[in-house]
């Protein structure tokens, strides 16, 4: 039986961002976990404009090629880890926009949250994201990796290296995603 596909979604899209280093670290942690076939999905590469579909996403009647491509990407996943900063006490606009493009492709899949930032570690962003994930019928796991003062973990080459506490948080989150994914795959069938 093939491993479930876990997509690690790098949600910061701005030039000069540091979050891609965090997302790469999360993908490495997921690979080391061994319970998933891991894909790193970078929203900066998705090329999504502000939502421009004339039909509601619940209908799945996409008219734009970028939406069809996004749908195909997200449809491959059995679960997600969203890696995101906090902007103005909320999630990045690009993440909300990417979520809004689709509906059924997100549904009945587990979602882990890795937020990062300064003193708050992106926790207000995570709090804003959870009801959106629920509305899309995703199942956010309680276990998470929240990273305060995240730039301290990025070296001069742009590589993020988590400490033991962050690794433990990531492992607990991945364990719970794996547990829920097995049941949710049955629900989706």
Please, what is the Cα angle at 44 between 43 and 48, to 5 degrees?
70
Residue 189's pLDDT band (cuts 50, 70, 90) = confident
The pLDDT score that the predictor gives to residue 130 is 98
Please give the CATH topology (third level) of the domain spanning 5-188. Rossmann fold (3.40.50)
Residues 107-135: b if buried by 16+ CB within 10 A, e if exposed: ebbbbbbbbbbeeebbbbbbebbeebbee
The pLDDT score that the predictor gives to residue 157 is 97
Residue 100's pLDDT band (cuts 50, 70, 90) = very high
Q: Residue range 51-72: average pLDDT?
A: 97
Q: What's the pLDDT tens digit per position in 122-160?
A: 999 999 999 999 999 999 999 999 999 999 999 999 999
Give the whole-angstrom CA distance, residue 135 versus residue 152.
34
Q: Does the global pTM surpass 0.85?
A: yes
For the chain, the structural domain boundaries read 5-188
pLDDT of residue 13 exceeding 90, the answer is yes
- The two three-digit tokens of residue 74, written as one number: 């997200």
The pLDDT score that the predictor gives to residue 1 is 80
Spell out where the chain has E strands: 5-10, 37-42, 79-85, 110-116, 139-140, 145-147
Percentage with pLDDT > 90 across the chain: 98
The pLDDT score that the predictor gives to residue 47 is 92
The pLDDT score that the predictor gives to residue 99 is 98
Q: Residue range 96-113: average pLDDT?
A: 98
């Amino acid at each position: 039986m093939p491993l479930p596909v876990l997509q690690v979604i790098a949600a910061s899209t701005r030039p000069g961002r540091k979050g891609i280093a965090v997302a790469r670290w999360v993908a490495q942690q997921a690979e080391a976990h061994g319970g998933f076939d891991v894909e790193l999905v970078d929203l900066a590469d998705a090329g999504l404009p502000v939502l421009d579909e004339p039909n509601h996403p619940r209908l799945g009647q996409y008219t734009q090629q970028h939406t069809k491509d996004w749908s195909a990407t997200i449809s491959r996943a059995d679960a997600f880890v969203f890696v995101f900063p906090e902007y103005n006490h909320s999630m990045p606009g690009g993440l909300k926009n990417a979520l809004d493009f689709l509906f059924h492709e997100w549904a009945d899949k587990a979602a882990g949250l890795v937020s990062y930032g300064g003193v708050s570690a992106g926790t207000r962003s995570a709090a804003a994201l959870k009801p959106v994930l629920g509305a899309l019928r995703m199942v956010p796991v309680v276990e998470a990796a929240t990273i305060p003062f995240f730039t301290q973990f990025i070296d001069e080459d742009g590589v993020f290296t988590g400490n033991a506490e962050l690794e433990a948080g990531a492992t607990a989150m991945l364990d719970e995603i794996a547990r829920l994914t097995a049941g949710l795959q049955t629900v989706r069938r």
